[in-house]
Amino acid sequence: MANLLSKRYPLSSLPDLSGKVAVVTGGSAGLGKYIAMGLALANAKVLIAAPKDEYGDQAAEEINKAVQEERKHGRAFFLPVDLGCLSEVKSLAERINREERLDLCFWNAGIGIAPYGLTKDGLANHFQINHLSHFYLTDKLLPLLRKTVEREDVKPGAVRIVSTASENHRMARSDVKFENLEEVNGDGDPNRLYSRSKLMNILFTKELVRRVLAPEGNKIMALAVHPGVVHTDQQKGAEEAYGPLGTVLRGAAALFFKSPDVGAESSLWAATAPEVCEGGTESEFQGAYVTEPYGKTGTETDQAKDEALANKLWVLSEKTLKDKGYPVEM
C-alpha cells in the first residue's frame, strides 16, 4: 500500500513536454494544481478544468508565475466547468476539441468522503462527478486523442489517460452490481459512496482498454493511480459528513499525510515516464492500477479486476448518458 515512504518521481524527472497539451480536471487546487504545475514547468500547455470560483484563475496565475520565474515556456489556462452538469461537460469538450492536439488527460476531479447530494442532472454527486462526467469527457475527446497519436512527433504510448483512483476502493461493498441507476443513485454512508466511486475509476480504466484502446492497437494508454494518503481540501468533506470525528481526521491529515505536491507524483509518473510504455502493446501498465511511481501492478482487489462488473458499469454509464440526452460513441 502506498504511504509516506512511497517511491518518488520529482519534477526534475519529468521529460520535456514542449508542444504537448494536457487537460487536468480539478486542476485548481490540491493534487490537481500540483499536477498542472509540474506539467507547465515541463513546458506543456495545461488546460485546468475546474469549478467557476476564484481558485481557477488564481491557480493559473500562480502556475504561470512559477513558469516565468523558472524561465520555462509552459502555460496554464483556466476552463471553468461544473462536472455535475453534463451540458457544461459537453461544452468543455467542445472547447478542448478546438486544440490542435491533446496528449495527456488527467481525470483527477472528484468528491471525497463527503455527504450524498444530487447534481444538476439529478444524479448522485459521487457517481457523476467522480465517474460519469469523466466517462463522457473521454468519449468526446477520443477523436482528438486519436488524431494526436498519428502525429509524426508523437511516440507510441505517449498519449495517455490517467484517472485518480484510491486504495479506498478496497472499502467498496462486496455486493456492488452496477445493474441499474437506482443502485448508484441512492444515499448512503459517505465513505462507502466514495469508495465505490474509486472502484469505478479502476474498472472504467480497465474496460476502456479492453473495449476501445486494445482493439485499436494500444496506441493510447490508460492507467489508474492512487496518489497516496494526501492532505487536501477533500478532508473538509469528511468534516461535514462525520462532524467531530471528521474534524479529528482533518487535523491528522494536516500532520501526517503527504503534501499535495508529493501526491501528484503518481499521476505525473503514470502520464510521462518512458518506462510506462516499455514493451509496446504488451506494456504491463496498460490498463493497470498503481499505488506509487514505479509501482507494482495487479495489487487492486479481485472486485476491481472483475471483467463482468466492469462491463456492467460501462453499460450502465452508456445507458445513463443516453437517457439524459448525451449518447456516447466509443
Under the banding of pLDDT at 50, 70 and 90, the label for residue 229 is low
Does residue 23 register a pLDDT over 50? yes
How would you classify residue 163: left for phi > 0, otherwise alpha for psi between -120 and 50, otherwise beta? Answer: beta
| 105-133: average pLDDT | 97
From 15-29, 65-79, 146-160, 227-241, the region with the lowest mean pLDDT: 227-241
How many other CB atoms sit within 10 Å of the CB of residue 171?
A: 17
User: In the prediction, which pLDDT does 34 show?
Assistant: 94
pLDDT at position 2, please? Answer: 40
- Sign, CA dihedral 76-273-194-6, equals negative
Average pLDDT over residues 298-302: 98
pLDDT in tens, 147-181: 999 999 999 999 999 999 999 999 999 999 999 99
Average pLDDT over residues 118-128: 98
Q: Would the pLDDT of 88 be above 90?
A: yes
| Catalytic position from the list 194, 242, 289, 326 | 194
Is the pLDDT reported for residue 242 higher than 80? no
Query: Cell numbers 478546438 label which residue?
Result: 98
From the CA atom positions of the chain, what is the Rg in Å?
18
Residue 103: CATH number of its domain: 3.40.50.720
206 belongs to the catalytic site: no
Domain that holds residue 147: 16-321
| Residue range 228-234: mean pLDDT, rounded | 53
26 falls within a domain = yes
Which residue is listed with cell 467531530? 244
In this predicted structure, what is the pLDDT of residue 12?
87
Query: Could you tell me if residue 329 is inside a domain?
Result: no
Flag whether pLDDT at 244 surpasses 60: no
Instruction: Give the active site residue among 198, 206, 258, 312.
Output: 198
**Is residue 251 scored above 70 in pLDDT?**
no
Helix or strand or coil: residue 255? helix
> 259 or 213: which carries more pLDDT confidence?
213
Residue 59 is predicted with a pLDDT of: 96
Instruction: Report yes or no on 241 lying in a domain.
Output: yes
- If one counts the domains in the chain, the total is 1
Question: What pLDDT is attached to residue 7?
Answer: 76
In a domain, 10, yes or no: no
Tell me, yes or no, whether 25 lies in a domain. Answer: yes
Q: Are 228 and 260 in contact (CB under 8 A)?
A: no
Is 198 noted as a catalytic residue in this protein? Answer: yes
pLDDT mean across residues, the chain = 91
| Close Cβ partners of 147 (under 8 Å, ≥ 6 residues apart) | 101
